Amino acid sequence: MNYNGLLGNLPSGIKWFIGCFVLVLSIGYYTGLLFVYETSSTNSTGLVENYLGNEEDEEAEIMKFKKGDREMLTIIHTHILSMSLIFFLLGILVWITKLPHKLKLFLTIEPFISVLLTFGGIYLMWSGWLWMKYVVMLSGFLMTLTFSVAALLVVFQLFLKPSRIIN
């Protein structure tokens, strides 16, 4: 079965359905990033403070406390499960676009590696491996980049005439 480029040949109603799905999925994804930004987790110090607290900093604007075992397990568990599902569904759509095989492979496999590195790294950082903050930041950036590229490629190919799609 040849599924390469199938996305561009789907009926109009299914294309609109997929387009709405990718739009709402993207809004949810970027709302999560906004939450990360609001919790000051976009820099290494803020990232560490978000999980390990800042009780020793008497001048801190907002007092943060180290997250407990149950809270960390809940965060890690829910994020790994939900992000896996997000990237699985988006990956299916990427595989039916008309793109080079190696690009599809990267856009569909890399996010799973980044999910493990990001949330595994958060857990290890919380456990005391403070250098993992850099792994978390890099993998989180790469995960967001691949999500953005994949979502844009899917939406772009949904509404392009099949003959104009890049091979």
Q: Counting Cβ atoms within 10 Å, is residue 53 exposed (0-12), middle (13-18) or buried (19+)?
A: middle
pLDDT of residue 107: 98
pLDDT in tens, 98-116: 999 999 999 999 999 999 9
Work out the angle at residue 119's Cα, subtended by the Cα atoms of residues 115 and 125, and round it to the nearest 5 degrees.
145
Please, are residues 143 and 122 in contact by the beta-carbon 8 Å criterion? no
pLDDT at 87: 98
What mean pLDDT is reported for the chain? 90
| pTM of the complete model | 0.88
* pLDDT computed for residue 36 by the predictor: 84
With cut-offs at 50, 70 and 90, classify the pLDDT of residue 37.
confident
